[in-house]
Every structure is written in C-alpha cells, then in structure tokens.
C-alpha cells in the first residue's frame, strides 16, 4: 500500500499532466479558430480549478470558474458569427477601449488581491489577483475575436511562468512557457486572417 501523501501527490501529478495536454489542444484550436477549442478549454478549466485549489492559488481557482462561463459565452458568440458570415471573423478594437478595459482590470485585480490577502491563506494574493484580472480580460477579448488578446496573453503568460516556477509546479510553468510561444503564433496567424478579410472586403 502506498502512503496517502504519496497517492495524493501521484494523483495531482497525473491530473496536471492531463490538464496540460488538454490545455495545449484547446489553445491550438483557438489559434486555428476552430469551434472545438471551447470544449477543450472548458475541460481544462475544470481540471485546473481543482489543481490550483490544492496548491492554494485561490485566485486561479476562482478564475477557472470564470473561464468556464466565458467559454460558454465565447462558444455562443463564435457560433453566432459563423452563422452570419460562414466564418469566424477577426474584429477590431479601439485604443480607447483597450486603455479603459485595462484600467478596470487593474482596479478589479487590486480589490480582489486585498480580499485574498486579508481573508484567505493565498500563497501570492496580489500577483495572483492581477493575473486573474488580466486573464479574464484576455479571455473576453478572445471571445470577441480581437487580435489584441494574443498580445495581452504573451505578457500575462510570461508572468505566469514566474509564479508557477515559484510555486514549484514546473510542468504547469512549462505549459505557460509554451503558451507564450503559442500566443505569439496566434498573433501572427490572426494577423494573416485579418489581412485576407480586409482584402476580400
């Protein structure tokens, strides 16, 4: 019989591996503007919600539930656009909107961080909360098909690599390092699609 602590460690390791694989599939499908991305992302969020809770990253745990809601919204919004245009079109976003929404993300992150700091035993409350805020914003931009989502994801994921390395969950840190590269590729890929759409219109 294996000790209970070892069993739990092996279970979490297996869970992290599965979550990493499904997350990579989900992001790859998002870059390809494939509707299946939302299903894979939904499953990845559910797995990571439990995983993050076990390592006391409560902001990330709550974030996964927001992601689940955004996955449902994103699926609906993409499906609606596909029915109208027979393709998933890239949409522009005004610079003033970007600044305003990022400002709101900072304020939300600060308030959420103070709540985590004073009412929980969260490991890194302020950093965790800001990453949550900007991840939510990036996910919203993804659902609205704004290219800016990939630029924001690049910066957010770089910081995530540092946080997960600090928490010694190196497989997840490696996943987010891969996300940096995938986000850069997604930015380039969506720019190509945007240019084609502009040429056709």
Listed by start position, the domains of the chain span: 4-200
- What pLDDT, in 10s, does the model give residues 140-177? 998 888 999 999 999 999 999 999 999 888 989 999 99
Tens digit of each residue's pLDDT (9 = 90 or more) over 1-17: 546 666 667 777 888 99
Displacement of CA 9 from its chain's centroid (Å): 25
What are phi and psi for residue 33, nearest 5 degrees?
55, 40
**pLDDT score of 18 more than 60:** yes
Q: What is the pTM of this model?
A: 0.81
Reading phi first (left if > 0) and then psi (alpha if -120 to 50, else beta), residue 93 is in beta
Report the alpha-carbon distance of residue 188 to residue 157 in Å, rounded. Answer: 17
Percent of the chain past pLDDT 90, that is, above it, reads: 55
Residues whose CB falls within 8 Å of the CB of residue 72, separated by 6 or more in sequence, listed in order: 38, 42
Distance from C-alpha of 145 to C-alpha of 199, rounded to nearest angstrom: 18
* pLDDT band at 71; cut points 50, 70, 90: confident
102 vs 121: which has the higher pLDDT: 102
Nearest to 54 by CA among 179, 169, 174: 169
The alpha carbon of residue 51 and the mean position of all alpha carbons in its chain are separated, in whole angstroms, by 15
CA distance 75 to 98: 22
Tell me how far apart the alpha carbons of residues 62 and 152 are, in angstroms, rounded to a whole number.
20
60 touches 132 (CB < 8 A): yes
Q: Which residues of 14-26 are buried (b: 16+ CB within 10 A; e: fewer)?
A: eebeebbebbbbb
Least confidently predicted of 84-88, 108-112, 193-197: 84-88
Residue whose pair of structure tokens reads 């949409």 in the numeric block? 91
Structure tokens at 110: 């600060």
- Residue carrying the six token digits 């610079």: 95
């Amino acid at each position: 019989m294996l000790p209970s602590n070892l069993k739990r460690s092996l279970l979490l390791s297996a869970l992290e591996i599965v979550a990493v694989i499904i997350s990579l599939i989900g992001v790859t499908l998002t870059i390809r503007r494939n509707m299946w991305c939302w299903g894979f992302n939904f499953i990845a969020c559910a797995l990571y919600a439990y995983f993050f809770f076990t390592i006391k990253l409560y902001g990330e745990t709550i974030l996964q539930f927001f992601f689940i809601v955004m996955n449902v919204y994103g699926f609906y919004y993409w499906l609606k656009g596909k029915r109208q245009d027979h393709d998933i079109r890239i949409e522009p976003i005004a610079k003033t909107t970007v600044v305003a929404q990022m400002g709101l993300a900072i304020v939300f992150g600060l308030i959420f961080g103070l709540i985590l700091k004073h009412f929980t035993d969260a490991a890194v409350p302020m950093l965790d909360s800001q990453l949550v805020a900007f991840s939510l914003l990036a996910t919203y931009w993804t659902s609205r098909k704004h290219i800016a989502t990939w630029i924001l994801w690049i910066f957010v994921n770089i910081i995530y690599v540092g946080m997960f390395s600090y928490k010694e969950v190196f497989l997840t840190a490696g996943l987010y390092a891969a996300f940096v590269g995938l986000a850069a590729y997604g930015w380039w890929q969506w720019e190509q699609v945007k240019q084609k759409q502009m040429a056709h219109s």
